[in-house]
């Protein structure tokens, strides 16, 4: 649902994607957007709803005092002001199937895509049960990864195929050259709903800022839900978007 200005009066919780919304991808929070978070935190409760691990997100935000939902809701951290640190309050571990089955399926997709050359491992397994399918491999050069598919035009046609192959998971076009494969029912919408239930926020009291709301994007489920959604198409425009819809 698009944000139409309605929320101003009712918003109590501002939920934010990080990469591409308030920061450049994998890049520290800049002073301009940090100041916006400071202003927002005087009036609203804030939470980051991210795709990466809580500690990585918190580190990228320079230890900013804010709650963090990580790994599409498989992990949750709450900021403890007394201790001045993020405390991990929830950490899920889900096993869907043996690793061999995943490796075999990924190899089959590579043959289909003509992408059988890669550096390092062809699949990355995370402790939570999340899987990364890096098309260039786990050890690919960062410059190669960034140059591979900046506008996603190479992964978009592959997305339905990967999604169908991993039907027991939710699949996202993630990072610069990979797919994120997440055990069901975890996604940002499920994460946000659970956070609201735990912390006592009603749906109409929430406004979400995100950049990745199209097909396969990791904010898509929230965008298509009943939550008010403020699209941010460039993290440098975040201050303006906040002024337009909230301040």
Q: How far is the CB of 49 from Mg ion (least distance, A)?
A: 10
Helix (H/G/I), strand (E/B), else coil: 46: strand
Structural contact between residues 166 and 181, judged by C-beta atoms closer than 8 angstroms: yes
Show the site string, 186-205: x = touches Mg ion by CB under 5 A, - = not.
Answer: --------------------
**13 in Cβ contact with 44 (< 8 Å):** yes
Which of 23, 38, 51, 22 shows the shortest CA–CA distance to 170? 51
**Are 36 and 236 contacting, i.e. CB atoms less than 8 angstroms apart?**
no
Q: How far is the CB of 73 from Mg ion (least distance, A)?
A: 15
Residue numbers 87-116 binding Mg ion by CB under 5 A: none
Is 174 a binding residue for Mg ion by CB under 5 A? The answer is: no
Residue in 7, 13, 14, 17 binding Mg ion, rule: CB under 5 A: 17
Do residues 150 and 132 touch, judged by C-beta distance below 8 A?
no
Q: Which C-beta is closer to Mg ion: that of 17 or that of 78?
A: 17
Q: How many residues bind Mg ion, per CB under 5 A?
A: 5
Which lies closer to Mg ion via its Cβ, residue 20 or residue 70?
A: 20
Instruction: Please give the backbone phi and psi of residue 224, each rounded to the nearest 5 degrees, phi first.
Output: -90, 5
Rounded to whole angstroms, the Cα distance separating 148 from 217 reads 17
In angstroms, what is the minimal distance from the CB of 149 to Mg ion? 15
User: Binding of Mg ion at residue 50 (CB under 5 A)?
Assistant: no
20: contact with Mg ion by CB under 5 A: yes
Binding pattern for the stretch 202-241 against Mg ion, x by CB under 5 A and - elsewhere: ---------xx-----------------------------
Q: Answer positive or negative: Cα dihedral of 60, 15, 132, 101.
A: positive
The minimum distance between CB 17 and Mg ion, in angstroms, equals: 4
Interacting span for Mg ion (CB under 5 A) from 16-24, 39-47, 134-142, 151-159: 16-24
Kindly state the tokens that stand for 74.
């498989």
C-alpha span between 84 and 100 (Å, rounded): 42
DSSP-assigned letter for residue 2? B
Query: Which lies closer to Mg ion via its Cβ, residue 54 or residue 102?
Result: 54
Where along the sequence are the contacts to Mg ion (CB under 5 A)?
17, 19-20, 211-212
């Amino acid at each position: 649902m698009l944000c139409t200005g309605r929320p101003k009066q009712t918003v109590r919780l501002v939920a934010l994607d990080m990469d591409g919304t308030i920061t450049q991808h994998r890049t520290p929070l800049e002073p301009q957007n940090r100041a916006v978070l400071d202003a927002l935190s005087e009036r609203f409760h804030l939470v980051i709803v991210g795709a990466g691990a809580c500690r990585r997100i918190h580190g990228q935000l320079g230890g900013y005092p804010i709650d963090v939902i990580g790994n599409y809701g498989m992990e949750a951290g709450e900021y403890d002001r007394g201790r001045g640190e993020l405390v991990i309050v929830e950490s899920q571990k889900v096993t869907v199937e043996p690793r061999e089955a995943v490796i075999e399926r990924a190899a089959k997709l590579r043959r289909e895509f003509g992408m059988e050359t890669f550096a390092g491992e062809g699949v990355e397994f995370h402790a939570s049960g999340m899987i990364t399918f890096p098309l260039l491999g786990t050890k690919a050069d960062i410059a190669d990864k960034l140059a591979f598919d900046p506008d996603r035009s190479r992964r978009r046609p592959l997305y339905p195929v990967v999604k169908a192959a991993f039907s027991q998971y939710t699949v996202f076009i993630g990072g610069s050259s990979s797919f994120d494969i997440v055990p069901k029912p975890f996604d940002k919408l499920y994460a946000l709903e659970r956070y609201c239930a735990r912390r006592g926020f009603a749906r109409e009291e929430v406004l979400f800022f995100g950049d990745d709301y199209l097909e396969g994007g990791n904010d898509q489920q929230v965008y298509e839900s009943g939550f008010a959604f403020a699209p941010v198409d460039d993290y440098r425009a975040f201050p303006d978007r906040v002024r337009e819809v909230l301040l």
